[in-house]
């Protein structure tokens, strides 16, 4: 069954959406806790919180994350600026179900191994944020030479079971997801893949679900701007997903 992840990006205490990760192209949507509670009440399987301040090295929203995790019935995963053991432990202690490691996973793979040993593979994911096949780090501001399909299996070897794949060039642009690379990533890595970036409509979600029927390791989809702009209705989307689940 395809899992629905509702995104809440945190910046300066507000819920925002960025276009292609650019801080200067942010849209402010207001109170993040209100949005988180709404998405949870409308049927999100997960909340996908990204602390942009932490990702950009400009503080963090740990207290807000803890408040959200306490107030919603669905599990919460959090990424952005998780640089070390203390960051991960603080998030788990705050009630976060899964910590998403991004920059630190590439720069300190031993942190990934530690996290899996400490909290178990269900409590850890690795974010693979790419322009084409090249991975980006530090809030997508730094390009690397690391290649998406080469790097992913290394994290699986460390015990990771979940990868969050974002096509940066599609993120916030409402142009549809990169299904080809998402499926290739699942094929190559053997990990469960959550697809992010570009989802604009129920048709896009249906396309991800079709890939998931073919490649069972495509397990989830992150819904962002399309929710906030009213292009997707989460209650209806969940009802549709549940209706097709027996055939998936």
Question: What is the reported pLDDT for 141?
Answer: 82
Q: What tens-digit pLDDT sequence spans the chain (248 residues)?
A: 999 999 999 999 999 998 877 777 889 999 999 999 999 999 999 999 999 999 999 999 999 999 999 999 999 999 999 999 999 999 999 999 999 999 999 999 999 999 999 999 999 999 999 999 999 998 788 889 999 999 999 999 999 999 999 999 998 888 999 999 999 999 999 999 999 999 999 999 999 999 999 999 999 999 999 999 999 999 999 999 999 875 44
> Rounded to whole angstroms, how far apart are CA atoms 232 and 203?
10
Annotated active-site residue 9? The verdict is yes
Annotated active-site residue 28? The verdict is no
Give the orientation angle of helix 32-41 with respect to helix 62-71, to 10 degrees: 30
Q: Given its phi and psi angles, is residue 128 left (phi above 0), alpha (psi -120 to 50 degrees) or beta?
A: beta
The predicted model scores a pTM of 0.95
173 Cβ contact partners less than 8 Å away, ≥ 6 residues apart: 19, 20, 198
For 3-131+140-247, give the CATH class: alpha beta
In sequence order, what are the beta bridge partners of 27? 17
Q: Where are the domains of the chain?
A: 3-131+140-247
Choosing from 51, 53, 129, 204, the catalytic residue is 129
Task: Please list the alpha-helical segments (H only) found in 56-201.
Answer: 62-71, 85-93, 103-107, 109-119, 148-157, 179-189
Q: Residue 24 corresponds to which tokens in the numbers above?
A: 């200067």
């Amino acid at each position: 069954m395809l899992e629905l992840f509702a995104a809440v990006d945190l910046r300066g205490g507000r819920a925002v959406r960025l276009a292609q990760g650019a801080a200067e192209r942010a849209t402010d949507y207001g109170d993040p806790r209100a949005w988180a509670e709404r998405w949870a009440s409308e049927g999100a399987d997960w909340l996908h919180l990204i602390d942009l301040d932490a990702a950009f090295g400009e503080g963090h929203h740990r207290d807000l994350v803890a408040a959200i995790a306490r107030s919603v019935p669905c599990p919460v995963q959090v990424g952005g600026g998780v640089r070390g053991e203390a960051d991960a432990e603080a998030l788990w202690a705050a009630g976060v179900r899964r910590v998403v490691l991004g920059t630190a996973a590439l720069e300190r793979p031993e942190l990934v191994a530690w996290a899996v040993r400490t909290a178990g593979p269900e409590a850890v994911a690795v974010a693979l944020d790419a322009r084409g096949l090249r991975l980006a780090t530090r809030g997508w501001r730094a390009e690397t030479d690391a290649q998406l399909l080469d790097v992913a299996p290394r994290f699986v070897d460390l015990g990771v079971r979940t990868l969050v794949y974002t096509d940066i060039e599609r993120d916030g642009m409402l142009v549809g997801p990169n299904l080809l690379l998402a499926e290739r990533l699942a094929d190559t890595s053997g990990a469960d893949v959550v697809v992010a970036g570009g989802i604009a409509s129920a048709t896009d979600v249906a396309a991800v679900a079709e890939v998931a029927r073919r490649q069972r390791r495509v397990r989830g989809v992150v819904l962002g701007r399309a929710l906030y702009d009213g292009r997707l209705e989460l209650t209806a989307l969940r009802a549709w997903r549940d209706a097709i689940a027996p055939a998936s």
